[in-house]
Amino acid sequence: MRRRLTSWCIPLLLGAASMAWGQALQPLPPIEAPKAEQVELGKYLFFEPRLSGDGGVSCDTCHDPATGWGDGKALSTGYPGSEYFRNAQTLLNAAYYKRNYWDGRMAGSDLPTLVRDHLTEAHFMQVDGRLLAERLKQVPEYVELFQKAFSGEPTFGRTLTAVAAFLKTITSRNAPIDRYLRGDRSALSAEAKEGLALFQGKAGCAQCHNGALLSDQKFHALGVPENPDIFADPFRHITFRRFFRTLGAPNAENYREEPGLYGVTKEKADWGKFRTPSLREVSRTAPYMHNGSLATLEDVVAFYDRGGGQHRNKSPLLKPLGLTAGEKQALVEFLKSLAGDPVIVERPELPDYKPQKLGQN
Ligand code: HEC
Ligand code: HEC
């Protein structure tokens, strides 16, 4: 009888606890392991400029392992001849999100479609899928790698699957915060522990940055200052206008602010909202925010301490915090404890073309 009672009670108690701890942080769960042969092929393709229209741009042009899998710039470069108007996101843990991109316009459950968006969009890699497959068929090593991964020849669809498989391997490893959450109390310094208490308490960060990613995966307006380069640089402004026109957002010619989620939903209440990013590995991915307008973690903490910026849709969760200099420092120390061992993948030596005679492939 006693046994029975406990087996009933434990799940109930755990349920209640997880409700009270709705803002709790959690260790990163393992991700469903992709097929090793697809990952191996995906690694080559990630560094492969043949995947872009002009043969000059590869994923690592904008997502370089050496700069935290972003490009280290405030605003991303686009396809040659254009410039993009948002910050290149880190790929670390990107495969965990429910929605991808700053405005969440891609579904995280469908990474191959995200890869297709990147390959075909005029502002990213601008390649034609048929041309891409023909190029890869002219490289015997790729024919072999596709055979191993898919038991078939290079195709556009298989390329998307292989790159998506590789993306699933770019995840945090051995982060102090995970060791701490699993019970190793010595994994965080005293200062980082003070920062964690502020993060979940006085500073209110965990209202939005929670769960295993330290993201609620929702969209909020913080009033991040606009990056004037978007409007001052004609190449960026053209990309910006074309982008919102293509999404069907009304009046896109006249925008003087970044609409964010509004561009996707066309709901006025979504103007200026962006997806809460994960804070894992954040010390590696400066500069910060959708437009790179905050250079350092100290700048970010100072921004929140002021209660965020000005915005008509600003989240009511942001208020001036009144943090002391020591508390701001402790928060920064805590943010640094969210980075694990560096995830570095060396660029493999890319195989050469060996054009086949017509009709022989
Ligand atoms: C020209 C620069 C550029 C290239 C090349 C590029 N990306 Fe990106 N990537 C970006 C930018 C900018 C964003 C954010 C887009 C936005 O929010 O509008 C992004 C976002 C992403 C995201 C979403 C991350 C998140 O947190 O949701 C993934 C995944 C990604 N890229 C993977 C890739 C892959 C795979 C390739 C190669 C096929 C690639 N990227 C090539 C610039 C680039
Ligand atoms: C109302 C929800 C909310 C609260 C509260 C909040 N954040 Fe954020 N955080 C966001 C959103 C949304 C973004 C992205 C905003 C953008 O790009 O315009 C963001 C971005 C960031 C970034 C930049 C990450 C990157 O990759 O560029 C850092 C660092 C950060 N927050 C830390 C904190 C800290 C520290 C606190 C507490 C002092 C905090 N946040 C409180 C929602 C929130």
What tens digit of pLDDT does each residue of 117-129 get? 999 999 999 999 9
Q: Which of 118, 161, 244 to mutate to test the pocket of ligand 1 (most atoms within 8 A of CB)?
A: 118
Rounded to the nearest angstrom, the distance between the alpha carbon of 61 and the centre of ligand 2 is 26
| Confidence at residue 357, expressed as pLDDT on a 0 to 100 scale | 77
**125 is written with which tokens?**
């890699």
Ligand 1 close to Cβ of residue 77 (< 6 A) = yes
On whether the CB atoms of residues 297 and 125 are closer than 8 A, the answer is no
Rounded to the nearest angstrom, the distance between the alpha carbon of 276 and the centre of ligand 2 is 6
User: Which of the ligands is closest to the CA of residue 98?
Assistant: 1
Distance CA 77, CA 54 (A): 15
Tens-place pLDDT, residues 141-189: 999 999 999 999 999 999 999 999 999 999 999 999 999 999 999 999 9
Rounded to the nearest angstrom, the distance between the alpha carbon of 88 and the centre of ligand 1 is 6
Instruction: Going residue by residue through the chain, which has 361 residues, state the pLDDT in tens, using 9 for 90 and above.
Output: 344 444 444 433 433 333 334 579 999 999 999 999 999 999 999 999 999 999 999 999 999 999 999 999 999 999 999 999 999 999 999 999 999 999 999 999 999 999 999 999 999 999 999 999 999 999 999 999 999 999 999 999 999 999 999 999 999 999 999 999 999 999 999 999 999 999 999 999 999 999 999 999 999 999 999 999 999 999 999 999 999 999 999 999 999 999 999 999 999 999 999 999 999 999 999 999 999 999 999 999 999 999 999 999 999 999 999 999 999 999 999 999 999 999 999 999 999 999 777 776 5
What lies within 8 Å, CB to CB, of 349 at 6+ separation is none
Ligand 1 close to Cβ of residue 78 (< 6 A) = yes
| Confidence at residue 224, expressed as pLDDT on a 0 to 100 scale | 98
Say how far residue 23 (Cα) sits from the centre of its chain.
21
Q: Whose CA is nearest to atom 42 of ligand 1?
A: 88
Placement of tokens 């990013």 in the chain: 277
Tens-place pLDDT, residues 232-266: 999 999 999 999 999 999 999 999 999 999 999 99
Distance CA 308, CA 311 (A): 9
Residue 356 Cα distances to 174, 197, 230, 345, angstroms: 46, 63, 45, 31
Exposure class string for 150-170: b at 16+ Cβ within 10 A, else e:
beeebbbebbbbbbbbbbbbb
What lies within 8 Å, CB to CB, of 327 at 6+ separation is 194, 198, 202, 203
| Confidence at residue 299, expressed as pLDDT on a 0 to 100 scale | 98
Q: Give which of 58, 82, 84, 81 is closest to 73, Cα–Cα.
A: 84
Q: Give which of 111, 69, 105 is closest to 90, Cα–Cα.
A: 69
User: Which of the ligands is closest to the CA of residue 236?
Assistant: 1
| Confidence at residue 15, expressed as pLDDT on a 0 to 100 scale | 36
Q: What is the mean pLDDT of the chain?
A: 93
Ligand 1 close to Cβ of residue 198 (< 6 A) = no
The percent of residues above 90 in pLDDT, for the chain, comes to 91
Q: Which of 101, 166, 240, 243 to mutate to test the pocket of ligand 1 (most atoms within 8 A of CB)?
A: 101
Q: Whose CA is nearest to atom 34 of ligand 2?
A: 205
| Confidence at residue 206, expressed as pLDDT on a 0 to 100 scale | 97
Q: What are phi and psi of 68, to 5 degrees?
A: 60, 30
| Confidence at residue 238, expressed as pLDDT on a 0 to 100 scale | 96
Residue 325 Cα distances to 27, 302, 308, angstroms: 29, 10, 17
